[in-house]
Structure 1
Amino acid sequence: MKIAVFMGGTSTEREVSLKTGSAVLKSLMRQGYDAYGVDLTSKNLVKSFIENEYDIAFLSLHGGCGEDGRVQGLLDLLGKKYTGSKAAPSAIAMDKIITKKIAGGIGIRIPKTYINKEDIDKFPIVIKPSKEGSSTGLYICKNMEDAEVALEKLSDRSVIIEEYIKGVELTAGVLNGEALGVLKVIPHDGTYDYESKYTEGKTDYEYPAKVSEKVYKNAMRNAKLIHDELKLSGASRSDFILSDDKIYFLEVNTCPGMTETSLLPKLASLKNYTFDDVVKGLLSQSDTK
């Protein structure tokens, strides 16, 4: 069985994807698999999937054109097995606006969302791209002037505008249908932005999260509800804000990072799974498609 680890890509999360792919490739080789890496760029984005020889595509891609269903759809057309969620669930989960509507529809608490700036009735608010991850392009706006600046900077992208809820960020993981646990994110500067996520020493992580049993169970339950409702496969990681003992769903990641600072491996360790166990688990899930 030959495994191609596809990484890189053309999204704003390219560098993170390369780190994920490198770590996954090292794990596969350490476990004795016949694996190699493929660095996707704008020049080889399609032909790499067609011209390379492999039995399974291990997708280590983050963000658009990698996590949004397009690559998955291409692999379906090629009749290739791959890790992670199928095309339609990937596309739905990538859109924060649609995902939050689904979450709200099944009883999960979500922040108030505004259609446009004219609807904003209270500050502060959060403005961010609706189809990107890793907290790229995230703006916390204290007034309309801030909001207009943020919208101008994000004018080339679809955005989501929602109320800012001051609280603690929690994340809960699911692997092959099993809820893993809950982790508390404690950024040193108060905001869990791109730099805090991917710079060693910028953020502390508490796992299992020291929260009430009720909150812990609700976060686990909601993460699995989202995973199941969207018909996700492999791994997913749902992010929440805890405020006044209530948790608010923010988004779900269908291809969570697997770098040295990533959260999914930390969550998996709560079930005594090693990094290699997670990689092997994702690989075994690809055979069920």
Structure 2
Amino acid sequence: MKIAVFMGGISSEREVSLNSGKAILESLLKQGYDAYGVDVNENNLISAFTDNEYDFAYLAFHGGFGEDGRVQGLLDMLGKAYTGSGATASGVAMDKVLTKKLVAAAGIKTPKSFENVKAIDSYPVVIKPALEGSSVGIYFCNNEDEAKKAVEALGDKKIVIEEMISGDELTVGVINGEGLGVLRIIPKNEFYDYESKYALGGSVHEYPAKIDKKAYDEALKNAVKVHEVLGLKGISRSDFLLKDNELYFLEVNTLPGMTKTSLIPDLATLKGYSYDDVVKIMVDTFKK
């Protein structure tokens, strides 16, 4: 079986994707798989998938065109097996607005949302793109003037406006419906921004999270529920905020980072899985 690790892409998270893809490829080769990497960019968005020879696609994309269902749909049409969630589930999970509605309907608490700036009844708020990740394009607004400027800066992008909750940043990993554990992120910067996520030493990962057991168990249960409600497969990672022992769901990642500083490899150790084990599980789960 020949495995192609597709990485890069054209989203704002391209560099992170390349780092994830390189680490995954290194693991596959170390484990004896017949694997090679494919750097997808603006010049080969379609041909990368149609002109290369492979039996199985290991997807290492993050963000738009890769994590949003479009690549998955193409691979479905090509009859290729691939890692991660299917096209529809990926598309829905990528949209923070749709995801929040489905998750809230399942009884999981989320931060209060506002349709537009005029509807905001209290500050501060967070304004961010609905279809991007990795803390790209996030604005923390303390008044209406700042909120209007944030919306203007985001242009035509679909956006999320929600109350800003100051609390513990938690993330929960799930593999094939199994909750891995809860990790608390302690960023070196004031907020868990792009640098905190991907720079070495940008944040401290506390796992298992040293929080109240009830909150820990609830976060684990809710992450598994999100995985099930959205019809996800393989790995997902749900992010939460914990304030005064109240848990708030923020978003879910269907192709979480697999770099050396990523969260899933850390969470996997709570179940005794090594980085290589996670990579192997993904291949064994999806290969035809």
Q: TM-score, normalized by length of structure 2?
A: 0.99
Q: Once the two structures are superposed, what CA deviation does each residue of 1:53-91 show, in whole Å capped at 9, x if it has no partner?
A: 000000000000000000000000000000000000000
Deviation at 1:156, TM superposition (A): 3.1
Partner amino acid for 1:79? G
RMSD after superposition:
0.7
Structure 1 segment 134-153 matched on structure 2, within 5 A = 134-153=134-153
Structure 1 segment 6-155 matched on structure 2, within 5 A = 6-155=6-155
The 2-side partners of 1:152 and 1:18 are apart by 31
Partner amino acid for 2:125? I
The 1-side partners of 2:231 and 2:185 are apart by 26
Q: Match of 2:191, SS?
A: coil
Q: Once the two structures are superposed, what CA deviation does each residue of 1:140-170 show, in whole Å capped at 9, x if it has no partner?
A: 1111111111111101311100000111110
- The residue aligned with 1:206 is 206
Q: Is the 8 A contact 1:233 1:285 kept in 2?
A: no
Structure 2: gaps spanning 5 or more residues: none
Q: Once the two structures are superposed, what CA deviation does each residue of 1:75-127 show, in whole Å capped at 9, x if it has no partner?
A: 00000000000000000000000000001001000000001111000000000
Deviation at 1:287, TM superposition (A): 2.8
The 2-side partners of 1:281 and 1:92 are apart by 24
Q: Percent identity?
A: 58
Q: Match of 1:146, SS?
A: helix
Q: Which aligned runs of 4 or more in structure 1 are off by greater than 3 angstroms?
A: none
Is 1:221–2:221 an aligned residue pair? yes
15-24 vs 148-157, which moves further = 148-157
- The residue aligned with 1:197 is 197
Deviation at 1:187, TM superposition (A): 0.6
Q: Match of 2:155, SS?
A: coil
The 2-side partners of 1:137 and 1:208 are apart by 29
The 1-side partners of 2:189 and 2:110 are apart by 24
Structure 1: gaps spanning 5 or more residues: none
Q: Once the two structures are superposed, what CA deviation does each residue of 1:250-269 show, in whole Å capped at 9, x if it has no partner?
A: 00000000001100010001
Is 1:268–2:274 an aligned residue pair? no
Partner amino acid for 1:65? F
Q: TM-score, normalized by length of structure 1?
A: 0.99
The 2-side partners of 1:276 and 1:44 are apart by 29
The 2-side partners of 1:242 and 1:201 are apart by 23
